[in-house]
Chain A
């Protein structure tokens, strides 16, 4: 093996040894009230992590902290940039941070209206991130948008319609396409199936599951629905009162829960 090849291999190994995102001792206090406290975890490429807990458990606070939307009171969040370097997210300049948010990351909001431009066409919604990073060929943008609409099961004939004319499920699928078009490495999802009918939920979950496998995405998904966690995630983090009470393989946490609270959660699921 020549020196250059050896170097490349070393690089590969070192990059595999590093997590994509590393969360250490993250706490957020709202005055005297605890948002979340002393949270630690890593996420590696291709992993889906579910953060579960009831409302008020701190899961959304945690999601906002790690997605740079809410600065934590203490702790660090490091992200492996595309050049392989681990950077503290809150030490990034605003330009770097915003660039990360609209290229290397995705954020799927519970309410699609928060993540879409409701008054521009579906095609432009999908194309916006590409245009933001300098794509300037209308025909190619349109072809890419058509392709992505197809991947999220929206007909090509809807490309010029505004999301205002879409159903809730379609809007959510459009929001996903809009986020994935720049091939992000990490996608945050906040209760992505929250406001949807059960049958629509199933279709969306299946779609997300397929895309995650196909694209090798890392996903951090906040949900209160253990069935969603079971279907989508590899690992699970159970939160209560701002603390992580249990953390591990999703199927192990659901089939052999150790913490009292996890046992309570699991035993509260309605069997169909």
Chain B
């Protein structure tokens, strides 16, 4: 864990206090209506759309000086997007940052939920590119809003039906739609459907920010989250037929890593912190010796 003096000359966490207040109001409303997309006046951020401007604004609005921030991208703390957002908040807020899930009070994420269960008091902030789960089926915003208002969600199942008709099973593997507290259908952002069960009854607060689309939505702690499915094609998460090659973890989401140009490859934890923590405890996978060399 490292603390950083604020060095930027900007207001704390970059955004001015009025803007943060506006975003907090949207967040409060979103928490009050789990799964409902609350419009907010998304600001220009010093990074391009698609780099997590929605998540960054949410994080900036909830960040306090004593918070400890972790940022992951596809489960990893050391990819460009994660590093630059972490650096950004180090400079503009001077907060402590960490790569350890257990130590963080706020975790901003793109496309993954950490493997270790989150606990009360933690906040998970998702970067969302397209918040509207009905968008690809119904392009009109006026119509999708009405469909949410009237709970007209038949179209979501049309999409899943098409999946089964084409592939024999539900082939949607990420951004898999969920229904919140039996009411709103929500896009969990492009996380793998492997992570959907982690959203259900999570002890942590989950906040979703879409910068370009100017929407915030939320799951308060202990919220009922159900993945949509058919009775005869129930929701299932991806299964991996081997453990992590580095730490031997099973029942975790694995990334494929190409080792050479002769077809060599290995499967390792996508959650780097999880993998490193296990290795620190002395747990080993089949390639850990070789990979360490």
* Direct contact, A vs B (beta carbon within 8 Å): yes
B136 to chain A, nearest CB (A): 10
In B122-159, the 8 Å CB interface with A consists of: 146, 149-150, 152-155, 157-158
Task: Say yes or no: is A94 at the interface (Cβ < 8 Å to chain B).
Answer: yes
Bits for A111-145, please: 1 = Cβ < 8 Å to B, else 0.
00000010011011001110111001111011000
Task: Say yes or no: is A9 at the interface (Cβ < 8 Å to chain B).
Answer: no
Q: How far is the CA of A222 from the CA of B164 in the complex (A)?
A: 38
- Contacting residues, chain B, for A98 (C-beta < 8 A): 150, 152
Q: How far is the CA of A212 from the CA of B154 in the complex (A)?
A: 26
- Cβ of A120 and Cβ of B162 under 8 Å apart? yes
- Contacting residues, chain A, for B233 (C-beta < 8 A): 138
Bits for B151-174, please: 1 = Cβ < 8 Å to A, else 0.
011110110011011100000000
A27 to chain B, nearest CB (A): 28
- Cβ of A132 and Cβ of B152 under 8 Å apart? yes
Query: Interface SS of chain B: helix, strand, loop or mixed?
Result: helix
* A121-B165, A123-B165, A138-B232 known; A131 vs B152 contact (CB < 8 Å): no
Q: How far is the CA of A142 from the CA of B162 in the complex (A)?
A: 11
- Cβ of A137 and Cβ of B158 under 8 Å apart? no
* A124-B161, A124-B165, A131-B161 known; A137 vs B232 contact (CB < 8 Å): yes
- Cβ of B158 and Cβ of A127 under 8 Å apart? yes
- How many residues on B have C-beta within 8 angstroms of the other chain's C-beta atoms? 19
- Contacting residues, chain A, for B146 (C-beta < 8 A): 94
Task: Say yes or no: is B10 at the interface (Cβ < 8 Å to chain A).
Answer: no
Task: Say yes or no: is B241 at the interface (Cβ < 8 Å to chain A).
Answer: no
Task: Say yes or no: is A95 at the interface (Cβ < 8 Å to chain B).
Answer: yes
Task: Say yes or no: is B231 at the interface (Cβ < 8 Å to chain A).
Answer: yes
- Cβ of B230 and Cβ of A120 under 8 Å apart? no
In B51-92, the 8 Å CB interface with A consists of: none
- Contacting residues, chain A, for B158 (C-beta < 8 A): 117, 120, 124, 127-128, 131
Question: Which 8 A-B pairs have CB atoms at the shortest separation, nearest pair first?
Answer: A132-B154, A131-B157, A138-B230, A131-B154, A137-B231, A95-B150, A124-B161, A124-B158
Inter-chain pairs besides A124-B161, A132-B153, 17 sampled, C-beta below 8 Å: A94-B150, A98-B150, A98-B152, A120-B158, A124-B162, A124-B165, A127-B158, A127-B161, A129-B154, A131-B154, A131-B155, A131-B158, A131-B161, A132-B155, A136-B229, A139-B232, A160-B165
Instruction: Please list the residues of chain B having a beta carbon within 8 angstroms of any beta carbon in chain A.
Output: 146, 149-150, 152-155, 157-158, 161-162, 164-166, 229-233
Instruction: Please list the residues of chain A having a beta carbon within 8 angstroms of any beta carbon in chain B.
Output: 94-95, 98, 102, 117, 120-121, 123-124, 127-129, 131-133, 136-139, 141-142, 159-160
